[in-house]
Amino acid sequence: MIEALRNRMYRIQLDNGHETLGYMAGKMKRYRIRIGLGDRVKIELSPYDLERGRIVYRLS
């Protein structure tokens, strides 16, 4: 994760160097899982829009 934006949106750098915009999944919001800068996350990308994705898991 590179940058925290408004409304629980984040700018995320992927392992291949691309950057995407990610938002938190519903379960992460429900259980109030926090994400900090520099954390590694799992993200689900949409096949229709590769610029956006949903954060589903925080690794560290």
pLDDT tens figures, 2-45: 999 999 999 999 999 999 999 999 999 999 999 999 999 999 99
Query: Regarding predicted confidence, which is higher, 60 or 36?
Result: 36
Would the pLDDT of 60 be above 90? no
CATH number of 3-58: 2.40.50.140
Are the C-beta atoms of 55 and 43 separated by less than 8 Å? yes
Residue 32: what pLDDT?
93
Residue 10: what pLDDT?
96
- Give me the sign of the Cα torsion angle 40, 32, 19, 3: negative
Domain coordinates of the chain in residue numbers? 3-58
